[in-house]
């Protein structure tokens, strides 16, 4: 096989991606974050693998502005083809004198395929770190209370007694997107956590590329919690942000909004709700891990690889 660089239009036609983060539209929306985007096709008599790399001064990265990236393949392929594709991309970066960084999705997205890619990539690259990525298996909603820890069940029961209203907003209206965003912004400010997307970035993303849902939890006429969720693929949604307002925390709004969001996507027929990592460069946030486990989430590994030195 060999590598060929395609135009964005050629790549889009050749490698339609299952995941929005690996799409040409999403990468083009974020192209100002890198010096150049390289759309690579790996194949022989026909194209077999594609990968989108964001080029910076010292690196080629997939993703360059998303939770995950990695290879897109046209059909089920043999391990030896996968191995050759990984080697060719690693050699391509080496010839350019740049570090190659690849972060595939967490294993829950496709355990069999991503386990193969983990094995293959670890043969050609070094492990940067391994994150803990939490998810909720939406089939658990049928007997949700059995999957919660005792304290979380107690907090949810308390929240259910409050006069909360769960509202799904209109993601096509900027004012509704801003309404949810303002709750998340305040939550991050109160807790000293960074908010990596500006309101304008969120709006451009959801109005142009990503199918998204926004929710707020109301109490006494006030928005006390919110959630921003992206439809990542046909049967998986991903929580991008969620959080509550500190002064209402005694009412357990986070337990309530997580329950409502879980139920919403269960009723919509999705398979998995990706809750995201609870680690920073592989180092766990113990409180965040504990909360996600208490509300019934499972965990799988999410690997990040880089060129061997």
Q: Taking residues 244-261, what's their average pLDDT?
A: 96
SS3 269: coil
pLDDT band at 251 (very low <50, low <70, confident <90, very high): very high
Can you give the pLDDT at residue 309? 58
Distance CA 155, CA 150 (A): 9
How confident is the model over 52-85, as pLDDT tens digits? 999 999 999 999 999 999 999 987 779 999 999 9
CA quadruple 5, 11, 14, 16: dihedral, nearest 10: 140
Burial of 74 (0-12, 13-18, 19+ CB in 10 A): middle
CATH topology of domain 2-103: Aminopeptidase (3.40.630)
Q: Is it true that 2-103 and 134-302 share their CATH fold?
A: yes
How confident is the model over 190-209, as pLDDT tens digits? 998 889 899 999 999 999 99
DSSP 296: T
Can you give the pLDDT at residue 193? 85
SS3 51: strand
Question: What are the structural domain ranges in the chain?
Answer: 2-103, 134-302
Q: Which CATH superfamily is domain 134-302 in?
A: Gcn5-related N-acetyltransferase (GNAT) (3.40.630.30)
Q: Which two tokens stand for residue 58?
A: 């010292």
Q: Taking residues 213-221, what's their average pLDDT?
A: 97
Q: Taking residues 135-148, what's their average pLDDT?
A: 94
Q: Taking residues 103-107, what's their average pLDDT?
A: 98
Find the helix or strand (DSSP H, E) in which 255 lies. helix 253-267
Can you give the pLDDT at residue 76? 73
Is residue 56 within 8 A of residue 35, CB to CB? The reply is yes
**β partners of residue 226:** 216, 243
Distance CA 54, CA 33 (A): 8
């Amino acid at each position: 096989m060999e590598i060929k660089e395609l135009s964005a239009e050629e790549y889009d036609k050749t490698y339609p991606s299952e995941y929005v983060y690996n799409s040409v539209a999403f990468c083009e929306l974020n192209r100002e974050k890198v010096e150049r985007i390289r759309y690579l096709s790996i194949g022989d008599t026909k194209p077999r693998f594609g990968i989108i790399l964001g080029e910076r001064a010292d690196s080629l990265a997939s993703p360059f502005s998303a939770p995950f990236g990695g290879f897109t393949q046209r059909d089920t392929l043999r391990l030896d083809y996968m191995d050759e594709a990984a080697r060719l991309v690693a050699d391509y970066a080496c010839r350019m004198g740049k570090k190659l960084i690849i972060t595939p999705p967490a294993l829950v997205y496709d355990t069999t395929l991503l386990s193969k890619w983990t094995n293959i990539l670890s043969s050609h690259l070094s492990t940067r770190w391994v994150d803990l990525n939490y998810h909720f298996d939406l089939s658990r909603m049928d007997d949700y209370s059995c999957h919660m820890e005792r304290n979380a069940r107690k907090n949810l029961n308390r929240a259910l007694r409050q006069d909360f209203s769960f509202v799904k907003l209109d993601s096509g209206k900027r004012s509704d997107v801003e309404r949810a965003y303002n709750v998340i912004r305040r939550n991050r400010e109160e807790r000293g956590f960074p908010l990596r997307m500006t309101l304008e970035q969120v709006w451009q993303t959801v109005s142009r590329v990503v199918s998204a849902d926004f929710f707020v939890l109301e109490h006494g006429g006030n928005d006390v919690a919110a959630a921003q969720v992206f439809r990542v693929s046909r049967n998986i949604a991903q929580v991008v942000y969620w959080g509550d307002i500190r002064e209402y925390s005694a009412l357990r709004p986070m337990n309530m909004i997580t329950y409502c969001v879980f139920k919403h996507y269960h009723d919509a027929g999705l398979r998995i709700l990706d809750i995201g990592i609870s680690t920073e460069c592989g180092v766990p946030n113990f409180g965040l891990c504990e909360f996600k486990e208490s509300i019934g989430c499972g965990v799988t590994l999410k690997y990040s690889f880089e060129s061997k030195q």
